[in-house]
Chain A
Amino acid sequence: MIYLDNVAGTKPDAKVVEKMMPYFTEHYGNPSAHFYPIGREAFEAMERARGQVAAFVGAKAEEIVFTSCGTESNNLAIKGLLKNPMNKGKHIIISEIEHFSVDSVTAKLRNDGYEITKLKVDDNGLVNPDDLKNAIKKDTALVSIQHTNPEIGTIQYTDKLGAICRESGVTFHVDAVAAAGYSELNVKDLNCDLMSIASQNFYGSKGAGALYIREGVKLSGIMDGGHQERGYRSGTENVPAIVGMGEAAEIAMNDMKVYVPEMVRLQKKLWDGLGGMFDFLHFTGDKDRRRPGHVSFWIEYIEGESLLMWLSLKGIACASGSACSSNILADDEEDLAASYVLTAVGVPSDICAGSLGMSMSKYNTEGDIDKVLEVMPETVKRLCEMSPMYNRK
């Protein structure tokens, strides 16, 4: 299978898995148990990983808190900040294309008396820094704007947005889950106070995420219990996954300069190939400011789920933002909705139907892209023939 849904999670690096294994089989102690070797070993391994992750984002080890995934990091960043007694602000700014975990957390906060401003994005998915400047108010507690959008690939002007927050003294959270391993992520250069990343997006395993909390930023824990992770996140740590995350961070730090340019090259090839194929295919996201190896588009006349299914039958795995494919395990059709990200960048919601996202990893090859370019024309042609809209052109 050609795997092109890497924003949903990558294949773990074999070296990462190898590093994780002993923490299942030998060093299986609880890292909070310091007085016997297997506990101590687990603890030390976790602290080593903390150092590796910190180095990856240009932070100090004490500024890294391990969580279980990107969603948890985002929840901790937002709820933890607002819950803290030091926070007095009642206004939150996000963009209209945030991940569900930011979008729905803030939507719920509205019921608790917070005011939410959702910044519009342009047709390429970019937030205008001036809009942010104008939206900040005296009681703004938090700005949370993602670095890279997983669906349309667009990369924000995060450093500029961060500088504006710094100037106004507002805490800035960056959801960098789709960015880690593909863009340079230095918390100082990006001017951020909080940053979420997840191991499974850069060749680690599922089950480990991290939140960078800049020294001095006051956050409360959102899980009560045994005070692990300095009280930010009670609960036994997932040591094997965390060890893997540390290793994955170190590998990414060393190898990005090699694999990223290659991914960009393949991305160009796929982009140009698809662009030349049909005049009714429209790319989404910013052409230049995008996650390496990410190509997203929508096709007129055909629906995303059926395209996704055909590609899957041909051995190509990717993602769609179509309403039809949105929530197939839902109990009823009320839960089917076109992607709000695509609607935000101006794709008409009945047309989000034909949307597709292909995101590569460092493992994809030229041959993979050749295969996609070979399969797409026949697949699209087939679905066009079936479409009552096609002939009306």
Chain B
Amino acid sequence: MAKGPYSDKVMDHFMNPRNMGEIADANGIGEVGNPACGDVMKIFLKINDDQVVEDVKFKTFGCGAAIASSSMATELMIGKKVEELLALTNQAIVEALDGLPPAKIHCSVMAEEAIEDALKNYFKEKGQDPAIVDEMKAKIRKN
């Protein structure tokens, strides 16, 4: 069969999305919308006392690339520490998916932003200033 615009990895994650769903007792929920196409991505995090991601789930209203990016992102997140999550860029997601068409890169950016939003809400819930996420991120970027 002729190949479509997406890599096999993207198609695999699109067809068999990993960690799709919600977490009832999530302690960090992130949601972002994409103004370019009206899409929405939601990420649910369960972070334990050691600041390690115990469980993560997603729900996405969006294109094939958006669904695959969310699914791949959750796979890359499980078992990671909070700082490691912040180091997870959209490029890393795109690479893990063996690439995305240029017009679809923004769908992976949505995943990165959803993670960031989830972490901010996680800190907020713990009574901390969510700005800590931006600080941590800036530090990581510098290194």
Interface residues of A (CB under 8 A from B): 301-303, 305-306, 309, 312-313, 322-325, 327-333, 335-336, 338, 349-351, 353, 385-389
How far in angstroms is the closest Cβ of chain A from B64?
A: 5
- Whether A324 touches B62, Cβ cut-off 8 Å, given contacts A330-B103, A333-B106, is yes
How far in angstroms is the closest Cβ of chain A from B62?
A: 5
- Please indicate the chain B residues that have their CB under 8 angstroms from the CB of A388 in the complex: 31, 40-42, 59-61
Q: Contact check: which of B15, B37, B61 meets A301 at CB < 8 Å?
A: B61
Interface size of B as a range: 20 to 34
Interface residues of B (CB under 8 A from A): 4-5, 14-15, 17, 20-21, 31, 36-42, 59-64, 66-67, 101-106
Q: Contact check: which of A302, A333, A338, A387 meets B105 at CB < 8 Å?
A: A333
Is the pair A332, B42 in contact by a Cβ cutoff of 8 Å?
no
How far in angstroms is the closest Cβ of chain B from A109?
A: 28
Q: Contact check: which of B31, B63, B67, B101 meets A386 at CB < 8 Å?
A: B67
**When chains A and B are docked, how far (Å) is the Cα of A331 from the Cα of B106?**
12
**When chains A and B are docked, how far (Å) is the Cα of A305 from the Cα of B39?**
11
Closest 7 A/B residue pairs (Cβ):
A350-B38, A324-B63, A323-B37, A388-B59, A305-B63, A388-B42, A330-B103
- Please indicate the chain B residues that have their CB under 8 angstroms from the CB of A338 in the complex: 37-38
How far in angstroms is the closest Cβ of chain A from B14?
A: 6
Is the pair B104, A328 in contact by a Cβ cutoff of 8 Å?
yes
Instruction: Return 19 A-B CB contacts under 8 Å, by A number.
Output: A302-B61, A303-B63, A305-B64, A306-B62, A306-B67, A325-B63, A328-B104, A329-B5, A329-B103, A333-B36, A336-B37, A338-B38, A349-B38, A351-B38, A386-B61, A387-B60, A388-B41, A388-B59, A388-B60
**When chains A and B are docked, how far (Å) is the Cα of A385 from the Cα of B57?**
13
- Please indicate the chain A residues that have their CB under 8 angstroms from the CB of B15 in the complex: 313
Closest A-chain residue to B38, C-beta based? Answer: A350
Is the pair B59, A328 in contact by a Cβ cutoff of 8 Å?
no
- Please indicate the chain A residues that have their CB under 8 angstroms from the CB of B63 in the complex: 303, 305-306, 322, 324-325
- Please indicate the chain B residues that have their CB under 8 angstroms from the CB of A327 in the complex: 103
Is the pair B61, A385 in contact by a Cβ cutoff of 8 Å?
no
Is the pair B31, A336 in contact by a Cβ cutoff of 8 Å?
no
How far in angstroms is the closest Cβ of chain A from B3?
A: 12
Closest B-chain residue to A302, C-beta based? Answer: B61
Closest B-chain residue to A389, C-beta based? Answer: B61
**When chains A and B are docked, how far (Å) is the Cα of A387 from the Cα of B21?**
9
- Please indicate the chain B residues that have their CB under 8 angstroms from the CB of A349 in the complex: 38
**When chains A and B are docked, how far (Å) is the Cα of A303 from the Cα of B64?**
9
Is the pair A323, B61 in contact by a Cβ cutoff of 8 Å?
no
- Please indicate the chain B residues that have their CB under 8 angstroms from the CB of A302 in the complex: 61
Is the pair B103, A386 in contact by a Cβ cutoff of 8 Å?
no
